[in-house]
Amino acid sequence: MNCMNTQRNIEERLWEFIDGHSSLEEKTVIERLLQTDTEWKAKYSELLEVNEMLQSSELEAPSMRFTKNVMEEIAKMHIAPATKSYINKRIIWGIGLFFMTMLVAILVYGFSQMDWSTGESSAITDKISKIDYTKFFNNTWVNAFMMINVLLGLVLLDNYFSNKRKQFRKEA
């Protein structure tokens, strides 16, 4: 086990040396080891050969018609507008603001419901567990929230289909 670790350690240090990632101090140490230690020297020539093979290997080439095929395909296409140009930043900020407001409202409501008069002896977790959220998180509110979500979903779906219809007509 120890021998395997040492071997791996030698290889890792030598790869760093070959890649030129060793520190100046490490470089000096390895250079000295390569002159004096036969195991290091043998391993170094082994790794150096693999490195040279990899460096000298060429990239694979596709068929001769490759560029022509790609150009024929793109001739029928249009470049899509950049994502940032059609995602309205105000919508993202609006969503962020909505969630921040919800969070702040819950926190303010929670803190206002806590009974601070009981003194320090009562743990904060006890106080949190005593907060009554049922006033807002009851069936009526949750149902109303779900209805709004469904409506928004339908509006978005309608928007999506009308865009598709327009695109289809344009292509036709």
Contact call for residue 109 and another protein (CB under 8 A): no
Q: 105: Cβ–Cβ under 8 A, 6 or more apart, which residues?
A: none
Nearer to another protein, 58 or 171 (CB): 58
Which of 23-31, 68-76, 87-95, 139-147 is the region at the interface with another protein (rule: CB under 8 A)?
A: 68-76
Q: Are 146 and 133 in contact (CB under 8 A)?
A: no
Closest distance to another protein from the beta carbon of 55 (Å): 6
Contact call for residue 40 and another protein (CB under 8 A): no
**Interface residue with another protein, options 1, 3, 24, 61 (CB under 8 A):** 61
Q: How far apart are CA 32 and CA 67, in angstroms?
A: 51
Angle in degrees, CA 105, 108, 112, rounded to 5: 140
Helix (H/G/I), strand (E/B), else coil: 40: helix
Q: How far apart are CA 156 and CA 107, in angstroms?
A: 31
Contact call for residue 20 and another protein (CB under 8 A): no
Contact call for residue 4 and another protein (CB under 8 A): no
Contact call for residue 70 and another protein (CB under 8 A): yes
Q: 63: Cβ–Cβ under 8 A, 6 or more apart, which residues?
A: none
Nearer to another protein, 69 or 101 (CB): 69
**Interface residue with another protein, options 1, 3, 24, 80 (CB under 8 A):** 80
